[in-house]
């Protein structure tokens, strides 16, 4: 399971300001900031030196399968990592939101052995207090913390620090942030499961067809330049899902690292949206052993576009298929450390260079919006 850091593209000037004085508005904006509606989650929003919204981090509040009712050690370690990432990004403060319909039911093991029968009861207050001890008190303040059973219209919330401070949320779909994101073409999913379905394997019979087509091409020599041209043309012409035969041809072509490295550049070009859809569909169609390349390319496309959650599930799919996949591992580590999309987009320059050496002209980069 990859580190579930989900940085929102918080530097987007199109995003309206969120009033921290209105917790209901803040909480209802989480689906738009994360790309999906969080459930049973610990969410940390960082504030930069100018009190602007920085990165947004979320993690499942997993219980320990060996001791139901207690948070898993992975959760504890992840909260510590959140504290490190906040410091790395020069956060001056954080706001915590605990989203859990079981609030008060989980337990926090801390350094207590899993076999210990008497762990500390974890209420939302205890969890926030534990996270606060992980932060540098001289540099980062917990400005506020809230708990809610869910992110829905009318769902109640209250402050962890002042339980008398409470209210209800407006409709998340109508939040100013949601409207701005939808207008900007950013998808907001109903749940993380819905997001993960975008890379879930297709029907077994279809995947088997792809496998058979791949097997038939195993000993066929690939001309990287011809394969690259054909792949770009296929993506440009693709109006729906690639066929089983197209997917097999793509998987075989990507075995040549020059082709794989070159098509990375499509993520910043005029075919970017076509390429992302193509890689996502190919991830669903490809056999388990062959998913890594197309899933990594889907993740890179989503990452460059600013969709951290989708990038995360794609990298997870790639690394499940091939734990040693270098591109997926590099990009997944970048996402874990909350590197901004423009910091990784430079990989596309390598792709353009590889394509030039192969004698193939790729679609040009899209013009960047003036800032």
Q: What is the pLDDT of residues 356-369, one digit of tens each?
A: 999 999 999 986 54
Measure Cα distances from 169 to 47, 52, 56, 290, 319 in Å.
22, 22, 19, 44, 37
The average pLDDT across 187-213 equals 90
Nearest to 279 by CA among 262, 267, 270: 267
Mean pLDDT of the chain: 83
> Tokens 């987009």 belong to which residue?
345
- Cβ-proximal residues to 309 (8 Å cutoff; 6+ apart), any chain: 6, 34, 35, 36, 189, 192, 195
* Residue 11 pLDDT > 80: no
Give the 3-state secondary structure of residue 58.
strand
Q: What pLDDT band is residue 202 in, cutting at 50, 70 and 90? A: very high
| Annotated domain spans of the chain | 23-189, 196-358
**Sequence-separated contacts (24+) of 65-73 with Cβ below 8 Å:** 66/114, 67/107, 67/109, 67/114, 67/119, 69/105, 69/106, 69/107, 70/106, 70/107, 70/108, 70/109, 70/114, 70/119, 70/122, 71/106, 71/107, 71/108, 71/109, 71/122, 71/127, 73/109, 73/114
* Residue 290 pLDDT > 80: yes
Write the DSSP string, 243-288: PHHHHHHHHHHHTSHHHHHHHGGGGGBTTHHHHHHHHHHHHHHS-G
Residue-level pLDDT at 199: 94
CATH number (3.30.70, 3.30.930, 3.40.1350, 1.25.40) of 196-358 reads 1.25.40
Residue-level pLDDT at 144: 92
Q: What pLDDT band is residue 182 in, cutting at 50, 70 and 90? A: low
Residue-level pLDDT at 43: 93
Residue-level pLDDT at 35: 85
> Tokens 């989203």 belong to which residue?
99
The average pLDDT across 299-313 equals 90
Structure tokens at 191: 């749940």
Residue-level pLDDT at 5: 43
* Residue 50 pLDDT > 80: no
pTM of the model: 0.80
The average pLDDT across 307-313 equals 89
Measure Cα distances from 257 to 41, 103, 260, 267, 283 in Å.
38, 49, 5, 17, 18
Q: Is the pLDDT higher at 19 or at 284?
A: 284
Tally of CA atoms within 13 A in the half-sphere of 95 that contains its CB: 23
The average pLDDT across 51-57 equals 79
The average pLDDT across 198-211 equals 94
* Residue 13 pLDDT > 80: no
Residue-level pLDDT at 64: 62
Structure tokens at 5: 């850091």
Residue-level pLDDT at 7: 46
Residue-level pLDDT at 166: 92
Residue-level pLDDT at 257: 94
Residue-level pLDDT at 226: 96
Window from 60-69, 74-83, 259-268, 295-304 with minimum mean pLDDT: 60-69
Residue-level pLDDT at 154: 93
Residue-level pLDDT at 187: 73
Residue-level pLDDT at 129: 87
Residue-level pLDDT at 175: 79
Residue range 223-274, pLDDT digits in tens: 999 999 999 999 998 766 789 999 999 999 999 999 999 999 999 999 999 9
Q: Is the pLDDT higher at 353 or at 16?
A: 353
Residue range 140-173, pLDDT digits in tens: 999 999 999 999 999 999 999 998 999 999 998 8
Q: What pLDDT band is residue 299 in, cutting at 50, 70 and 90? A: very high
């Amino acid at each position: 399971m990859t580190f579930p850091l989900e940085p929102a593209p918080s530097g987007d000037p199109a995003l309206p300001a969120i009033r921290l004085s209105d917790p209901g508005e803040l909480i209802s904006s989480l689906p738009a900031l994360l790309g999906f509606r969080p459930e049973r989650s610990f969410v940390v929003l960082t504030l930069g030196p100018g009190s602007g919204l920085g990165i947004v981090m979320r993690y499942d509040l997993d219980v320990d399968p060996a001791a139901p009712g207690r948070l898993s050690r992975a959760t504890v370690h992840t909260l510590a990592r959140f504290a490190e990432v906040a410091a790395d990004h020069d956060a001056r403060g954080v706001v915590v939101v605990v989203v859990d319909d079981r609030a008060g039911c989980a337990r926090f093991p801390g350094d207590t052995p899993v076999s210990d029968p008497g762990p500390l009861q974890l209420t939302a207050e205890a969890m926030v207090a534990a996270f606060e001890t992980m932060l540098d008190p001289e540099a980062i303040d917990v400005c506020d913390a809230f708990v809610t059973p869910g992110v829905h219209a009318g769902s109640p919330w209250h402050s962890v620090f002042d339980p008398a401070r409470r209210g209800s949320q407006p409709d998340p779909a109508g939040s100013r942030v949601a409207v701005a994101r939808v207008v900007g073409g950013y998808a907001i999913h109903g749940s993380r499961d819905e997001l993960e379905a975008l890379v879930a394997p297709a029907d077994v019979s279809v995947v088997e067809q792809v496998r058979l087509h791949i097997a038939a091409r195993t000993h066929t020599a690939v001309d990287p330049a011809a394969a690259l041209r054909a792949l770009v043309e296929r993506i440009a012409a693709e109006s729906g899902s690639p066929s089983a035969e197209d997917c097999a041809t793509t998987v075989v072509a990507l075995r040549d690292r020059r082709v794989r490295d070159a098509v990375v550049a499509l993520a910043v070009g005029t075919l970017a949206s076509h390429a992302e859809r193509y890689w996502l569909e190919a991830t669903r169609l490809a056999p388990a052993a062959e998913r890594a390349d197309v899933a990594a390319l889907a993740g890179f496309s989503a990452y460059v576009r600013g969709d951290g959650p989708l990038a995360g599930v794609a990298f997870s799919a790639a690394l499940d298929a091939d734990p040693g996949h270098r591109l997926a591992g590099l990009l997944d580590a970048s996402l874990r450390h909350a590197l901004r999309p423009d910091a990784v987009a430079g990989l596309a320059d390598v792709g353009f260079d590889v394509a030039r050496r192969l004698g193939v002209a790729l679609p040009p980069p899209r013009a960047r919006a003036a800032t």
